[in-house]
Structure 1
Amino acid sequence: MKFTLSWLKNYVSLDGLTADQLADRLTMLGLEVDAVRKLYEGLEGIVTAKVLSVAPHPNADRLSLCEVEVGDEVIPIVCGAPNVRAGLVTAIARPGVCLPDGHKIKKAKVRGQVSMGMLCSWRELGISEDHSGIMELDSGLDSGLSLAEVLDLDDTMVEVDLTPNRSDCASVIGIAREVAGFTRQKITPPVTEIPELDGSGLDFSVTIEEPELCPRYTARKLTGVVIQPSPWWLQRQLMAVGMRPINNIVDITNFVMLEYGQPLHAFDFQKLGGQSIIVRRPEENEKTFTTLDTVERPLTPDMLMICDAERPVAVAGVMGGLDSEVTDTTTEILLESACFDPVSIRRTARKLNLPSEASYRFERGVDPNGVDYAMERAVRLMCELADAEVVAGGVDEYPGKKELLQLDCRVQRVNEFLGIALSAEETADYLRSIEFEVVDRGAGVLGVTVPSFRV
């Protein structure tokens, strides 16, 4: 599980904690920290630049001669990027600057023309793997500004090696909850209220034929969706934890999955046959299924599928299908947030040799009572970042709803296990700090209600 300090700070204060101190405290809580890494180092000296003019290189067909503004200076640059053009604001490394890979930029002559630096791609600066051209920044930026400051790149990534029993920490909010516990704070979740989804007045339906494998399934429809690149803040957070930005809709589902620990999936509504979702096993004639990665995969009768009225459209909890994916022409979306049986997902992912961020979380168990909160968070972001309008209401099928687990906690027994002396009041305080409900039954016994995220 990877997260950044800037992301974590959205939900809990880290005042007074350095990255190393945070790592030590998390490790002592049983969340072993594997890595603490400062991000985007080596960008000192990389600044913004504005291309003023572009002309063909007289001695090379694929090169351009550029006049580039850097602060108060205008300098010549030879550039081979296909997207270089007048008016473009990008990043430049001047002579004497070292790139993150150690390459030192020098004044040079390229096919007889002087070049006073290099216009840089995202990959050359170690920010992402995009090497299709030089960086394209906000056209309103001044030249000569520190790139690290402009893009807010001063951040630290922390990686935690989770044990299988701590699926509640496979999310940034889960980590924040633990930090809030030992710093005696309350987390600030992005969603505190959710609408009722009673399934009425909709032009789509959801049927769960295998309730033991799908204890909860929620769905909402959004219209007027505009598919476009995500804003920089969203792309930056995803890239910082090793995920590649795709488009605003896919990025939002990935962001919320990492934030809440709840995988989501967006279907192109127009591609769903019969305007319905059926959660079932494959039928006898359904032998293969083509997933989003364009691979045709064999199906077995024990696998759980998400289907429309005509065919499967996703491998439940593992990966979506090619025929219902969101594309640049998508304008209507059916958004899924669901809970699936961990054993079933683990078996399917192994058989298909298809591990994914979604299956990683479903295999360990997701919070069944958090499904609708993740849904609401994603809906709000899609309305904000994709100009979408959410259709009132939605479907929330919850056949597997269970009462929260209640336990008696004997304080003396706890102390014997830990080898320390805690009072009943102290024990209750520690449990409440990580969102357990506790009542004192007297005689050294606490009544404890286990929250649903401790699956």
Structure 2
Amino acid sequence: MKISLNWLKDYININQSPEEIGKLLTDTGLEVEGLENFEQVPGGLKGLVIGEVLTCEKHPNADKLSVTTVDIGTDAPSPIVCGAPNVAKGQKVVVATVGATLYPAGHEPFQIKKAKIRGEVSEGMICAEDEIGLGTSHEGIMVLDTDLPNGTPAAEYFNLKDDVIIEIGLTPNRADAASHIGVARDLKAVLKQDVQWPDVDNFEVNSTDHPIEVVVENLEACPRFSGVTITDVSVGESPDWLKQRLSAIGLTPINNVVDATNYVLHELGQPLHAYDASAVTGNKVIVKTLPKGTKFVTLDEKERTLTDHDLMICNGNEEGMCIGGVFGGIGSGVNESTKTIFLESAYFSPDYIRKTAQHHQLKTDASFRYERGTDPHITIYALKRAALLIQSLTGGKISSGIVDIYPEKIVSSEVKVKFKNIDRLIGKQIDKEQIFEILNLLDIEVSHETEEGFTASVPPYRVDVQREADVIEEILRIYGFNNVELPEHVQSDFLAEFPTRDKDKIQKTATELLVSNGYYEILTNSLTKPGYAELAEDLDAKHSVEILNKLSEDLGVLRQSMLYSGLEVALHNINRRQVNLRFFEFGKIYHQKEGDYQEHTRLAIFITGDIEGENWINKSRKVRFHNLSHMVNLILSRLLNKTFANEVIHEYPFDYGLHTLLNEKILVRMGKIKPAITKKMGLKQEIFYADIDWDLLLKKTNNNIVFEEVPKFPEVRRDLSLVIDRSVSFEDIKKIALNNEQRLLRSMNVFDVYEGENIGSDKKAYAISFILQDKEKTLTDKVIDKTMTKLMTSFESNLGALIRK
């Protein structure tokens, strides 16, 4: 939220610097995220002054130039060469002095320097309006009608004031501070300065010739509706002061009527809406919901399909004119031909507005405030303020009495507060008088005071203060968190368990390992499309955790798998010609079953494209499953200091792959994603994916590094060629080898694979190397031969392998 410091000063007397104001607001809970200087004109006309042309003669060496002397308020006149055809003696002009930087419209800025032009000295520049960013005309220099003394800063003549924009990170609970008056109220409590509200006492009904009847059919959605008619309006451009105020906080001026309603919105926090009265058929406004499926075209010219929960402002024919509290309709908007307007100021139910805004994906300044909660007591005041402003800007007349439909008054909340709880929660005893003073400054009335406590009467605009703890928080934020001293000794009334495992360090270790191998970390949204549960056979829509307050239908549930959000990232990159991808993500998955909600942390790894780019030595090579499995094994061996047996799988979502088990639980699932899935996601290349149960891994690791002495004795390599069935995997061979020889067998590796007619169509040949080593002595040929014979026998008996000797 943006707040203009100049605008803020209209309501409260503050002399502090912007930095001091920022600190005060942050201390009260309105966190200031930044301060930005705002200039109405680029450069702020710094270095530009009012001057008077004393002499003007033709340039001796150029027909289209003039040599002038200009009084700019210094000891001696400045000689200036000017090319404007309209320059003349006696004119008051704008002069850019030496050193000033000009920001001409549509051109690069440049600095004024002392120069010689065709042999004549020039110490400055007499400016046209486009040269200083005040307009687009370049027909001649600006000639001013002013009695200001020479040397007066041009910014003073043009009434330009630099501003500071305060960027506040407004939390959802502080709807009361979503305006300049709202921010001023917090400063009032801290600085003990009164807030000066705009005067509306001169509001006067000129006639009652144009009454408009208002009927509110849905009082739950619209507890209060106020309105007034203004005739003889002249819709046009807003004055400079109004456009500057709106531009400073990032709004685009539209016309004097709409700008006035936006001005009051950001001034008071009360949204308003102006209707072209010609669209109010039957001189009647009906506030109701329309049948589900009704079509309505909003101001952005988009046709929207209404739900039976959308509150509509309708005319006498029950035709929609506006989605109440959210967005106006194209048929009732104010335009240049509008002569009569109906001005609305209402209080809408936050629940209704929130659901409508989210359903239609319409986030407006009005819905931002209504869905958080506005002040039901301010509608008439805001209506008068806006009507007077429109009257002064458009020349209109107030031509009806104020309509105010408010059958059931919204009263202040009564909260009982105990002094002992104030002392306990704040951690310090504060004088009762100071407590009452703070609450009074916050417009919270105190009554029924006793020795034990009191009753706080909280105004309706403070929607976030409903409990005793909320009132105490209000006292503390104004008293100041920094004014609560820390005790000399910090103690706890319980013993905490300090586990040896540091989850963050373990995750950092895995991250560094992945990054050092060329992987990039990604971060995706836990919210995902409900349709993925229907696409995937391993997901069940019944177990999806559905979001009640959906941002959109595409983000309607929490993900059950890390796969699909990762595939979206892959598709996004591949569509932008980044086809060789390696990335990973730490994230959570969510499930629910019969009201039992669960979340689990996973590490997802993706790899696709080429594993190695082409160069003059090597050709490019496509990613294969073993590139993924190698990375997974690196992580497991680093964090768990052991290797694992794997099981071959052919289950959804994998075309083929492996399971890694830890204590009979699945630790890792990895493999190639089924082409049917990648095709539906719009991907045309193979994707390899690993899903690691990070919670299970953390339970079994303490991130300690195991050191082992380098063996003193040499290792020995022996190779075997095995002809086996196609169905036998290397993992099967590895398991049998480790079961038969764990002490001497250090590692195994397949270094060649053959498939062909020479060995039969249902067979394949593996060339495997075996590394043997004894840590205590040198291996003899007898021991080596005995070990290899035992391995060959086990391969023949268990796998039916044919050993090529």
Smaller-chain TM-score bracket: 0.7 to 0.9
* Cα distance in 1 for residues equivalent to 2:405 and 2:194: 31
Matched AA of 2:352 = S
* Cα distance in 1 for residues equivalent to 2:246 and 2:231: 25
* Cα distance in 2 for residues equivalent to 1:389 and 1:319: 26
Equivalent residues in 2 for 1:318-333, closer than 5 Å? 318-333=326-341
* Cα distance in 2 for residues equivalent to 1:343 and 1:153: 41
Asked if structure 1 preserves the Cα contact closer than 8 Å seen for 2:295 and 2:303, the reply is no
Asked if structure 2 preserves the Cα contact closer than 8 Å seen for 1:222 and 1:334, the reply is yes
Residue 109 of structure 2 corresponds to residue 103 of structure 1: yes
What is the match of residue 8 of structure 2? 8
What is the match of residue 57 of structure 1? none
Asked if structure 2 preserves the Cα contact closer than 8 Å seen for 1:11 and 1:173, the reply is yes
Which deviates more from structure 2 when the two are superposed, residues 372-381 or residues 33-42? Answer: 33-42
Residue 447 of structure 2 corresponds to residue 439 of structure 1: yes
Equivalent residues in 2 for 1:225-236, closer than 5 Å? 225-236=233-244
Residue 48 of structure 2 corresponds to residue 37 of structure 1: no
CA deviation after TM superposition for structure 1 residue 243, in Å: 0.8
What is the match of residue 54 of structure 1? none
Residue 359 of structure 2 corresponds to residue 358 of structure 1: no
Of the three residues 144, 160, 164, the one matched with 2:168 is 160
What is the match of residue 461 of structure 2? 453
Give the secondary structure class of the aligned counterpart of 2:251. coil
Identity of aligned residues (%): 34
Give the secondary structure class of the aligned counterpart of 1:369. coil
CA deviation after TM superposition for structure 1 residue 20, in Å: 0.7
Which deviates more from structure 2 when the two are superposed, residues 68-77 or residues 419-428? Answer: 68-77
Residue 306 of structure 2 corresponds to residue 299 of structure 1: yes
Q: Note closer, same or farther for the CA distance 1:379–1:137 as it changes in structure 2 (3 Å cut).
A: farther
Asked if structure 1 preserves the Cα contact closer than 8 Å seen for 2:293 and 2:305, the reply is no
Q: Note closer, same or farther for the CA distance 1:194–1:453 as it changes in structure 2 (3 Å cut).
A: farther
Q: Note closer, same or farther for the CA distance 1:395–1:409 as it changes in structure 2 (3 Å cut).
A: same
Of the three residues 325, 328, 333, the one matched with 1:317 is 325
> What are the superposed Cα offsets for residues 349-377 of structure 1, whole Å, 9 maximum, x if unpaired?
22222211111111111101111111111
Matched AA of 1:297 = R
Residue 389 of structure 2 corresponds to residue 388 of structure 1: no
What is the match of residue 26 of structure 2? 27
Q: Note closer, same or farther for the CA distance 1:134–1:375 as it changes in structure 2 (3 Å cut).
A: farther
Q: Note closer, same or farther for the CA distance 1:77–1:97 as it changes in structure 2 (3 Å cut).
A: farther
Equivalent residues in 2 for 1:362-381, closer than 5 Å? 362-381=370-389
CA deviation after TM superposition for structure 1 residue 342, in Å: 1.3
> What are the superposed Cα offsets for residues 173-195 of structure 1, whole Å, 9 maximum, x if unpaired?
11111111111122111146598
Matched AA of 1:21 = E
Bigger RCO (CA 8 Å, 6+ sep)? 1
Equivalent residues in 2 for 1:218-297, closer than 5 Å? 218-283=226-291, 286-289=294-297, 291-297=298-304
* Cα distance in 2 for residues equivalent to 1:358 and 1:254: 9
Which deviates more from structure 2 when the two are superposed, residues 211-220 or residues 1-10? Answer: 1-10
* Max Rg structure: 2
Asked if structure 1 preserves the Cα contact closer than 8 Å seen for 2:276 and 2:338, the reply is yes
Of the three residues 202, 208, 218, the one matched with 2:216 is 208
Asked if structure 2 preserves the Cα contact closer than 8 Å seen for 1:202 and 1:394, the reply is no
Asked if structure 2 preserves the Cα contact closer than 8 Å seen for 1:49 and 1:91, the reply is yes
> What are the superposed Cα offsets for residues 254-289 of structure 1, whole Å, 9 maximum, x if unpaired?
000001100101111122211111111123562232
CA deviation after TM superposition for structure 1 residue 448, in Å: 1.1
Residue 191 of structure 2 corresponds to residue 188 of structure 1: no
TM-score using structure 2 length:
0.48
Asked if structure 2 preserves the Cα contact closer than 8 Å seen for 1:95 and 1:117, the reply is no
CA deviation after TM superposition for structure 1 residue 151, in Å: 2.9
* Cα distance in 2 for residues equivalent to 1:138 and 1:439: 65
Which deviates more from structure 2 when the two are superposed, residues 213-222 or residues 345-354? Answer: 345-354
* Cα distance in 2 for residues equivalent to 1:90 and 1:316: 52
Matched AA of 1:5 = L
Q: CA RMSD in A?
A: 3.9
List runs of 5+ in structure 2 lacking aligned partners: 53-64, 73-78, 87-91, 116-123, 464-805
> What are the superposed Cα offsets for residues 199-246 of structure 1, whole Å, 9 maximum, x if unpaired?
x98631111111111111101001111223222221111111111111
CA deviation after TM superposition for structure 1 residue 139, in Å: 7.3
* Cα distance in 2 for residues equivalent to 1:137 and 1:154: 22
Asked if structure 2 preserves the Cα contact closer than 8 Å seen for 1:49 and 1:68, the reply is no
Q: Note closer, same or farther for the CA distance 1:322–1:137 as it changes in structure 2 (3 Å cut).
A: farther
Aligned residues: 425
* Cα distance in 2 for residues equivalent to 1:152 and 1:448: 46
Asked if structure 1 preserves the Cα contact closer than 8 Å seen for 2:48 and 2:96, the reply is yes
* Cα distance in 1 for residues equivalent to 2:22 and 2:196: 21
> What are the superposed Cα offsets for residues 30-49 of structure 1, whole Å, 9 maximum, x if unpaired?
11001112221733135679
What is the match of residue 308 of structure 1? 315
Asked if structure 2 preserves the Cα contact closer than 8 Å seen for 1:121 and 1:133, the reply is yes
* Cα distance in 2 for residues equivalent to 1:138 and 1:187: 42
Which deviates more from structure 2 when the two are superposed, residues 412-421 or residues 293-302? Answer: 293-302
Residue 421 of structure 2 corresponds to residue 422 of structure 1: no
Give the secondary structure class of the aligned counterpart of 1:222. strand
Asked if structure 2 preserves the Cα contact closer than 8 Å seen for 1:370 and 1:453, the reply is no
* Cα distance in 1 for residues equivalent to 2:410 and 2:143: 50
Of the three residues 383, 395, 401, the one matched with 2:409 is 401
* Cα distance in 1 for residues equivalent to 2:316 and 2:408: 23
Matched AA of 1:220 = V
List runs of 5+ in structure 1 lacking aligned partners: 51-64, 109-114
* Cα distance in 2 for residues equivalent to 1:362 and 1:396: 18
Give the secondary structure class of the aligned counterpart of 1:368. coil
Matched AA of 1:190 = P
Matched AA of 2:277 = F
* Cα distance in 1 for residues equivalent to 2:356 and 2:137: 39
Matched AA of 2:306 = L
